[in-house]
Chains A and B, each alone.
Chain A
């Protein structure tokens, strides 16, 4: 059983930025700016999320991981698609 998308996102983020917290963060806030992620961090985030979620996230999907809202929506959508 996997975590809910928000928990998954927060856990993966913390593995890169140890003190990262989504608490009180605006759903539309840019994750890269908020947590000062560089391109390498983003690739790592994609990798860790994919591992947790159990599916492969392509480069082209990385844009969907820009904000908390778009990332959780993306993860939920992909998880649903994987179940069917």
Chain B
């Protein structure tokens, strides 16, 4: 059971997407896990054949417990092994637990890459109305092939593949499996698909709430679970962290001009929004102020090796999720945009992956989209800083001794005063400003 958030102690294995005897590859989604905050697709970190499922559907297990055994003896669906990447790195549950106990994520263990998609294939997927994110890739490293996309498009005509839990649910709720479109691997019908179908009388929001069903002990409503979890974390933050707050107003004229020009060159599907620019600049600035990048653990600051940028996404149904962009300081603005898009889509569809939920080393709140001027944030423990962006808007601004109108944004920092002082925080904000003045170098 991987750790899918700093405050996660246990999770419910809602559904297996593989069975004994199935071959699995590193990065394949193998199970669905429910945490207090959301339903998460858990990926496999090894390649092999499923030998035994150690946890049954509906069971609640602590973080670090092995979920399945693979053919080569490795433990599947455990947290990513260390950077060494040795095949036996996650041999025992104890080893797995030690890598997740609030420690920063492994240094260079790459989160499974977003599946590469050639322009031709992307075009074909769009033509057929297939969302590549939902298609299981059979190519190298799980890459999508033309066949995968076309198979997904013709899915309803294929024979039905139904997970055991989905079949049980369908029988309970009287849902006709023939009428469903499966979203699991190779078009298989999953429990979620049945739940959605059985629930069409309720108004559909964009987020599919993790609905709990019969086989599990009754849980409180999902939203209130998420609310409770946010409440607990923020209470700890306000109680334990002596916050200091700083703000700086940044002129975004150059950044936006650059972005507009770049957007004229980009495919419509790859267009940038200002958030991509702001996040890319923040990630790079954080790299140069390592005192703010890391975690406060056992009365001391533990710097993180990478900049894993947490991104606060608010959900239409209320509440929020904080997936992370791993290694954000090494991404171009275009790549940052692609990651923001994927994470937002997956979060809103209620289908984040385990690798999206690594513990961030610092978090960004982009509340500007909600129209507010600035954010005076509350830090996510055990992190030591949170950067906030207000709305980008045209305002009066002195330029060369004259009053001009410029697109401005207020960037803010909430810092943990145990780990850093205001001078360090100021350095971060000034660096973000400086980087945003030369967007072409980002």
Contact = CB atoms under 8 A, between A and B. Distances in A.
B340 A59 contact: no
Q: How large is the interface on A (under 10, 10 to 19, 20 to 34, 35 or more residues)?
A: 10 to 19
B204 A36 contact: no
Contacts of B340: 40
- Which of B273, B274, B340 has the most chain A CB atoms inside 10 A of its CB? B273
B100 interface: no
B72 interface: no
Nearest to A57: B268
Given A19-B204, A39-B274, A50-B268, A59 B260 contact: yes
A43 B203 contact: no
Contact of B263 (A16, A19, A36, A59): A59
Contacts of A47: 268-269, 271
A18 interface: yes
B269 A60 contact: no
B341 A40 contact: yes
Interface of A: 16-19, 36, 38-40, 43, 46-47, 50-51, 56-60
A46 B126 CA distance: 15
Contact of A46 (B205, B268, B369, B370): B268
Interface residues of B, number: 20
Contact of A51 (B126, B260, B263, B271): B126
Contacts of B344: 40
A58 B263 contact: yes
Contacts of B341: 40
Nearest to A33: B371
B271 A39 contact: no
- Which of B274, B275, B369 has the most chain A CB atoms inside 10 A of its CB? B369
B115 interface: no
Contacts of B263: 58-59
28 contacts: A16-B206, A18-B205, A18-B206, A19-B203, A19-B204, A19-B205, A36-B316, A38-B370, A39-B273, A39-B274, A39-B275, A40-B273, A40-B275, A40-B341, A40-B344, A43-B271, A43-B273, A46-B268, A47-B268, A47-B269, A47-B271, A51-B126, A51-B268, A58-B263, A59-B260, A59-B263, A59-B264, A59-B271
B307 to A, nearest CB: 22
Contacts of B260: 59-60
B204 A18 contact: yes
Interface string B254-283: 000000100110001101011100000000
Contacts of A40: 273, 275, 340-341, 344
Interface string B336-349: 00001100100000
A40 B340 CA distance: 9
Nearest to A19: B204
A56 B206 contact: no
Contacts of A51: 126, 268
B203 to A, nearest CB: 6
The 3 closest A-B pairs by CB, nearest first: A38-B369, A47-B268, A39-B273
A37 B325 CA distance: 22
Nearest to B131: A15
Contacts of B204: 18-19
B110 to A, nearest CB: 25
Nearest to A47: B268
Contacts of A59: 260, 263-264, 271
B318 to A, nearest CB: 12
A8 B256 CA distance: 29
Contacts of B268: 46-47, 50-51, 56-57
Contacts of A16: 206
A38 B275 CA distance: 11
Contacts of B206: 16-18
Given A19-B203, A39-B274, A57-B268, 7 more contacts: A40-B340, A40-B344, A43-B271, A46-B271, A47-B269, A56-B268, A58-B263
A53 to B, nearest CB: 11
A19 B126 CA distance: 22
A59 B344 CA distance: 20
Contacts of B269: 47
A20 to B, nearest CB: 10
A40 B263 CA distance: 14
Contacts of A58: 263-264
B369 to A, nearest CB: 4
Contacts of B271: 43, 46-47, 59
Nearest to A17: B206
A47 to B, nearest CB: 4
Contacts of B370: 38
A79 B141 CA distance: 42
